[in-house]
Structure 1
Amino acid sequence: MQQEDNLAISTMDQGFEAEVVKITLEQTSYVLKIWNKDSRPDVSFQFHLLNALFDRGLSVSKPIGWGMNANGEKVLFTSFDGAAVKKVNKKKMSDLALLLASIHQTPVEELLHVQLPKYDFIDYFYSAIKEHPDLLLALTHFLSMTEMNQEQLIHGDFHLANILENNGKYTVIDWTNGQLGDIRYDFAWSFVLKSIYVSEQNASAFRTAYLKTNPISQNDVQLFEAIACLRWILYSRHEKVPKGTNTLDTIMSLITNNPYLKELDLYDFSKKI
């Protein structure tokens, strides 16, 4: 702050929730995230969670400070750790799978002072689903087939835009959705996003590497992938997900190849996606 005239400030890729700027002083760079849009997260929680994870050697940004700016907007100040992952291959996808597995294997008893929240699963991840009775019916049906185990640390949105790369090192950012959750769902949501926006081949490599490190039964994998697909379809109906020329084909492939989803009325679903 005392060397303001020597700071180099540049805008970074913006998310749906906040503005992000890179601040460089001499040879060291930092990131300032400013929640100046609709989202109002608990930045204090994010800071303390990052601090706990960083101290335990997990691949997260080093938190430096948090608070409010002159406009009353919440801010988080961290280390700069590179740019979002753009190009991938099977080896890189395997590395990212091991990174997610390491998050899921973090002993939560070591994070007790952080007070990880636990939310109602449907209310948190499917907040608008009551407006879509067909999706709500499918979701409640799927959830009745399993018992949610919301007792482990999850990231909540582990996709490529939230993974930074710098000289071969990966850093997981955006812990807005960090919480006690079911790692089967966290893994499945990440896999579905990679299937849609990366490629089915690379997503398969991600899935194979993760399950080798953190085994989940085949039935649970298929069930939670179906549950995750419903979340993407819900977001799609509210125009909250990007769509390319092949996006619809990919999601329909996921539906038809999943034993739970293929029981749904594919024609009605495809019309509403």
Structure 2
Amino acid sequence: MFDQIGSDWTLLGRGKSSEVFRMGDGEVIKIFHPAVSEDMIEREVAAARLATSLRLSTAAPRLRVTVARNSALIYPEISGVSIAAAIRKKPLSAASLLRDMAALLHSVHRQPVSGLRTVKSVLQTDIDYGPAPDAIKRAAIDYLQALPEADHLLHGDFHIDNILLSEGGLVILDWAKAAIGDPAADAVRSEMLMRFGEGPADAITTLWRDWAAGRLGRAYRDVSGVSQDQMSLWRPVVALAWLRARPPVRNRAFHRYLDQALRSAGLPTVN
């Protein structure tokens, strides 16, 4: 237990749910913001330990502690840079890194598991609590229930800031949104995060993000055997669920994407 942030700790990053500091002695500490639920923290611990037990390229927390009464997890430090930072430094490496990222996502999805929440339950909750009209919610949830069941491990937040490029290869971070289900659902979300997630949205970057999302999706389909049609089945509900908490990035483009996915599935549109 720590009364306060250590004076010799170095801030490594700050996100919506936590701050990460280097503590020294090969360890980092992830301090959660007070609003983060106990369920989310326990889910991250359980999923990270499960992924480690499956010999996936990741790290599990060593210890749970508190810092100034905020929950925190101590992890082994992994030296490296995010894929986002690596691409900014060497833009010509993007295609190769996206292929490697797709292969890594497939390695996650190859694992049949139990003990985590299902992706269908996650999507249903987010649709229920999201801002869409009730008629669209009801139609989308009925559609969701008819989608395929599966027991594969899904990461839930697989994007270029959650993957480290280390000396030993790519390493997956942040398992707080992990679930069990159809790999196509997770692949759609990863592609969607690339295209419409947090980050710059100027004209040049937008073109690059659309290219990168397409490249990542094709690479994933090539390595996994998941088809475009399988991904299209999940796109309307994955996109609709994201309305609950998505960042205000490329709003017009995202709503066009959402409505096209809903229309293609025979569902009522939002706009």
Q: Which of the five TM-score ranges fits, normalised by the shorter chain?
A: 0.7 to 0.9
Q: 1:35 aligns with which of 32, 36, 42?
A: 32
Shift of 1:54: 2.2
Is 2:231 the counterpart of 1:233?
Answer: no
Looking at structure 2, the residues matched to 141 and 164 of structure 1 have their Cα atoms a distance apart, in angstroms, of 38
Cα gap change, 1:70/1:12 in structure 2, threshold over 3 Å: closer, same or farther? closer
- CA pair 262-79 structure 1, distance change in 2 beyond 3 A: same
Structure ranking higher on relative contact order (CA contacts 8 Å, 6+ apart): 2
| 1:60 and 2:61 correspond | no
Residue in 2 aligned with 1:94?
A: 99
The Cα of 1:7 is off from its aligned counterpart by 8.2
Contact 2:131–2:243 under 8 Å retained in 1: no
SS of structure 2 residue aligned to 1:209:
helix
- Residue in structure 1 matching 2:254, options 251, 255, 261: 251
Alignment gaps of 5+ in structure 2: 198-207
Whether the aligned pair in 2 keeps the contact of 1:223 and 1:260 (CA below 8 Å) is no
Q: Choose the corresponding residue for 2:263, options 260, 263, 273.
A: 260
1:116-155 CA distance string (max 9 Å, x none): 33472444433513763254145235426x4241422111
Q: Among the aligned pairs, what percent are the same residue?
A: 21
For residue 255 of structure 1, report the CA deviation from its aligned partner: 4.5
Task: Note closer, same or farther for the CA distance 1:149–1:24 as it changes in structure 2 (3 Å cut).
Answer: same
Aligned mate of 1:85, from 83, 86, 89: 83
- Tell me the amino acid that sits aligned with residue 149 of structure 1: E
Query: Corresponding residue for 1:128?
Result: 129
Shift of 1:241: 0.6
Question: Displacement, 1:217?
Answer: 3.6
| Partner residue, 1:204 | 214
Q: Quick check: 2:191–2:216 contact (8 Å CA) kept in 1?
A: yes
Change in CA separation of 1:122 and 1:255 when aligned onto 2, cut-off 3 Å: closer
Could you tell me which residue of structure 2 aligns to residue 215 of structure 1? 225
Count residues with an aligned counterpart.
Answer: 247
Change (3 A) 1:11 1:129: same
TM-score by length of 1: 0.76
- Answering whether residue 157 of structure 2 is matched by residue 152 of structure 1, we say no
| 1:73 correspondence with 2:84 | no
Provide the C-alpha distance between the structure 2 equivalents of 1:262 and 1:124, rounded to a whole number of angstroms: 20
